[in-house]
Amino acid sequence: MTLKRRATLLFLFTFLFQVVWAGTSLCYPQQAVEKKEASLPQKEETPEKIVGAPQNVKEKAGIWVFVAWMWISVFVLVYFLRLKIAEADRLHGIRFYSLKKD
């Protein structure tokens, strides 16, 4: 198999895996809880406390790890993009794709 074919198959496999995984893992717990609560007697509603900040050190560290991981992935993708651009420039410079060979 050529490298291009392998890359295409790898992309398709990962795409299909993500679609299947997302399709099976998308369950909405709120809907399941509402069905169970419908059969139970109604309780008095208490207002929920909505907090927009991390509650403890573990949650705060998790946020920083997520942000760091996102930036690292952006830098790696930009690095690969620069390598691809440099390779395309090199091939253009030697007229690899030119119809007219010198």
Q: What is the mean pLDDT of residues 23-30?
A: 52
Q: Which range has the worst mean pLDDT, 57-61, 74-78, 82-86?
A: 57-61
Q: In this model, does residue 40 exceed pLDDT 90?
A: no
pLDDT of amino acid 4: 74
Q: In this model, does residue 89 exceed pLDDT 80?
A: yes
Residue 84 CA neighbour count, 13 Å, CB half: 6
DSSP state of 48: P
Q: Whole-number mean pLDDT of the chain?
A: 79
Q: Which range has the worst mean pLDDT, 15-19, 67-71, 85-89, 93-97?
A: 15-19
Alpha-carbon torsion (53, 57, 58, 61), positive or negative: positive
pLDDT band at 61 (very low <50, low <70, confident <90, very high): very high
